[in-house]
Amino acid sequence: MESREYGQTAAPNSGSSPSPSGTELPELVVRISKDGQEAYLSAKNVPLGQKIPEDSVKQALAANGVVFGLLPEAIATFCASPTRETLCAHGTAPRDEETAKIEYLFRTDGTCAPKQREDGTVDFGSLGLVQNVKKGDVLCRIVPPKPGADGSDVTGKALPHKKSRLPSLPSGHNITASEDRMQLTASIDGCIEFHKGILNIDETFYVRGNVDGSSGNIVFTGTVIVQGDVLEGYAVIAGGDITVHGMVIGATLKAGGNITVSSGVNGMRGGKLTADGNITAHYFQSAQVRCGCDVYADTIMNSNIDAGGSVVMRGPNSSIMGGRCSAGHRIFVKTAGTPNNAQTELILNSPDLKSALAGSAARAGEIAALKEKTEAELRIQADITKQIKLLSGTLGLRGPSPKTQALMDSLIQNQRKSENSVTEYSHRIEELENLPSVPLIEFNIAAIRLFYAGTKITIGSVSQYLSTDTSSMKFYIKDSQIVSGPTLPSDAKDF
């Protein structure tokens, strides 16, 4: 360690006699380290056993600028036995601020682990692969460093501490930094994507493979796109749409929007698909399907289908074979049933259908009642007309008496009142007949090619079994009975 020396002569004891002629006086040497953090004392020409007064030492230190961090015990020891160099003062090193860090409030390592149930077992389906966030959720924040402190060397010179440099928050889309740039929040509902310092909140979550043991169940507030299959025992639950590029095999799918499966759905008696919007797949086999709007497919086999809108079978050989298929508006298919007459149940039932049936019946009933009232008023008018003619024939040359005139006025008033009632009834009948409504024929079950015998048709509360094969026919309800008519090209115009 480099040092500098300052020489100062001091009497070892204020009460001692002068040294003999030619003898060197004791000399105190102060050495300060290069960094100024340490001061050392040593003495030259000190007779054996000689002590040095502390005041002399302190004067020597002060004369050399050593005023901070004095070590009283070390100085006392040196004064009692000044035979070797002694550390007599020690400065204080500055305490630098610790490095500021970013605290992430989500997993950043991409790992996921199964969730433990309340009974202590492990749910390997819940790996937590998707990290959902809501708008306004805090994603990460900068943790300020602990404050530092300045130091001082032995001469009292301040030694400033180093301040920590704040790290930069991650960049990305759909994130918002606070005004002080100390934290990030999500600006939309979505899932976290974090890679190489880039933080995004996405409205779509991609499963780059199958939904299976490696991914666990997928639960996301937005749209989920599965680039592989969804396998038995696993689930995909999305607040938006679900798109599966492969197959769904014995799995559960639930969407707040639409579900689209590029291949098919094999429910294996346990798979279930539920959506608020449409559900589309190439085929459904042994599956349970429920949606708020329409179901689209090429083939349905032994499945339980419940569509709030229509069931539309597309493709040149589309068919519904076995099972139960219910829709709120229409069922459109090329072929329904099977050649071996396995029961296939096709149902139309919905609030819209019930409203149409009730509205039709109510309008018909009211119109019939109004027509009866009109006929009754017309009979009244005919009777009044006869009475007026008879009364007019009895009048003499002198004119009607007051009593006769009062009777005539009453008859004329009643006739006008009846005529006004007939006009009112006529307007109401016209109004009812022109009320906008969905014709009952629009609620129909149509097979462009063939209904096989054994197919059961139910519309509203009325059912009908087909005992023979029926070609190119559609069924609808009229006058509380199921009736049929030929299919037309317009029946397929929307599909």
Task: Please indicate, yes or no, if residue 321 is contained in any of the structural domains.
Answer: yes
Contact of 91 with 159, CB cutoff 8 Å: yes
Query: Are 426 and 495 within one domain?
Result: yes
Does this model's pTM top 0.75? My answer is: no
Give the domain extent around 126: 101-149+162-201
For residue 81, what are its two tokens?
Answer: 């036995």
Distance separating alpha carbons of residues 252 and 270, to the nearest angstrom: 8
Query: Are 324 and 301 within one domain?
Result: yes
Query: Are 315 and 436 within one domain?
Result: yes
pLDDT at 281 over 90: yes
Q: Which three-class secondary structure state does DSSP give residue 283?
A: strand
Contact of 311 with 293, CB cutoff 8 Å: no
Q: How many structural domains is the chain composed of?
A: 3
- E strands along 182-328, which residues? 183-186, 190-195, 198-202, 204-207, 218-220, 223-226, 235-238, 242-244, 248-249, 252-255, 259-266, 272-275, 279-285, 288-291, 295-297, 299-307, 311-313, 319-327
pLDDT at 21 over 50: no
pLDDT of residue 48: 80
Alpha carbon dihedral 168, 173, 179, 182, in 10-degree steps, equals: -40
Query: Are 7 and 35 within one domain?
Result: yes
Task: Please indicate, yes or no, if residue 344 is contained in any of the structural domains.
Answer: yes
Query: Are 366 and 435 within one domain?
Result: yes
Query: Are 374 and 441 within one domain?
Result: yes
For residue 482, what are its two tokens?
Answer: 């199921």
- φ, ψ dihedrals at 115, nearest 5°: -90, 140
- 16-20, 24-28, 297-301: least confidently modelled range: 16-20
Contact of 371 with 356, CB cutoff 8 Å: no
- 104-118, 212-226, 455-469: least confidently modelled range: 104-118
Task: Name the strand (E) or helix (H) holding 122.
Answer: strand 122-123
User: To the nearest whole percent, how much of the chain has pLDDT over 90?
Assistant: 48
Segment of 42-46, 267-271, 343-347 carrying the highest mean pLDDT: 343-347
For 222-235, what is each residue's pLDDT tens digit? 999 999 999 999 99
Segment of 323-327, 352-356, 459-463 carrying the highest mean pLDDT: 323-327
Over residues 385-398, mean pLDDT: 72
pLDDT of residue 441: 83
Query: Are 61 and 129 within one domain?
Result: no
| Cβ neighbourhood burial of 116 (10 Å; 0-12, 13-18, 19+) | exposed
Closest by CA to 134, choosing from 206, 192, 65, is 192
Residue 373 makes CB contacts below 8 A (sequence gap 6+) with 421, 425
pLDDT of residue 13: 38
Domain boundary among the residues 201, 228, 263 is at: 201
Query: Are 418 and 321 within one domain?
Result: yes
pLDDT at 18 over 70: no
- 92-96, 253-257, 358-362, 483-487: least confidently modelled range: 358-362
